[in-house]
Amino acid sequence: MDILITEADRRELQLARHLLEHPGLAARITHVIGMPIEKGMERLPKNWSVQIGKITRAALLRASMAAIFTLKDAPGKASSDKWHKLGVAATGGISGFFGLTALAIELPVSTTIMLRSIAEIARSQGESISNPETKLACLEVLALGGSTQSDDATGSGYYAVRALLSKSISEAAEFVVERGLAEKGAPVLVRLIAVISQRFGIQITEKAAAQAIPAIGAAGGALINTIFMDHFQDMAKGHFIVRRLERKYGKEAIQDLYGK
């Protein structure tokens, strides 16, 4: 499908695609610390996958309520990216000093700061934060981890991930519109978070593995958390640029052009 798109918007879409299809978090961390993240993977506990699942789901539930569901509407207002990076750097320093045992305490805090940053980026792209669909689109960003070694060719692309989450997001948005965020609505949000946390958990595992490397320490923990935040800020910028262009030109048309 050919569409008439301005050159400025075409460049915006190219930027979004570059951000969204960029190599994943592990590649970024490896590039900065100068050693393969697999060294840290070997130091993670044997039952780590079970632990990280519980920690990630709990962190997302707490963070979603504290961050995106309390932010005030101000479409077009610039986001405070640097301040949010400083916030997660501080929590990363604590986690890097105390090791993996501190992750259950650090992750809800860093995830809350990160979701607030994502919500501000959404707002800067003209999204209304009071819209339940926008709130859920902020959560959706955490599933957009870029390409990872564990992804297959069909499941790692941006639109493939959105398709995977579309049914859960539609159900959650409909429920929130009809009944609000009362306690009785929690199961719908929990189901969505369970799906998102499966992909977000991959990024958390990579972050934890890097922080488990003995030479990292507190300073390295702060650096890794900064990379972590920078990565998801890029995902958010790409995601909400695409959504803005979809509102302007139509989802099908932008998806087709994105693929080209």
221-248 pLDDT, tens digit each: 677 778 888 888 899 999 999 999 999 9
Output b/e per residue, 113-152; b: 16+ Cβ within 10 A: bbbbbbbbbbbbbebebebbbbbbbbbbbbbbbbbbeebe
102-158 pLDDT, tens digit each: 677 778 888 888 888 898 899 899 998 888 888 889 989 989 865 544 444 434 589
Q: How far apart are CA 92 and CA 219, in angstroms?
A: 8
Task: Give residue 34's pLDDT band: very low, low, confident or very high (50, 70, 90).
Answer: low
Count of C-beta atoms within a 10 Å radius of residue 9: 17
pLDDT for the residue 208: 75
Q: Decide: pTM greater than 0.75.
A: yes
Task: Give residue 87's pLDDT band: very low, low, confident or very high (50, 70, 90).
Answer: low
CB 96 within 8 A of CB 219: yes
Give the list of residues 6+ apart from residue 164 with CB closer than 8 angstroms, or none. 143, 155, 195
More confident residue, 12 or 110: 12
More confident residue, 11 or 57: 11
Q: How far apart are CA 54 and CA 47, in angstroms?
A: 12
Q: Residue 107's closest CA among 229, 204, 224, 252?
A: 204
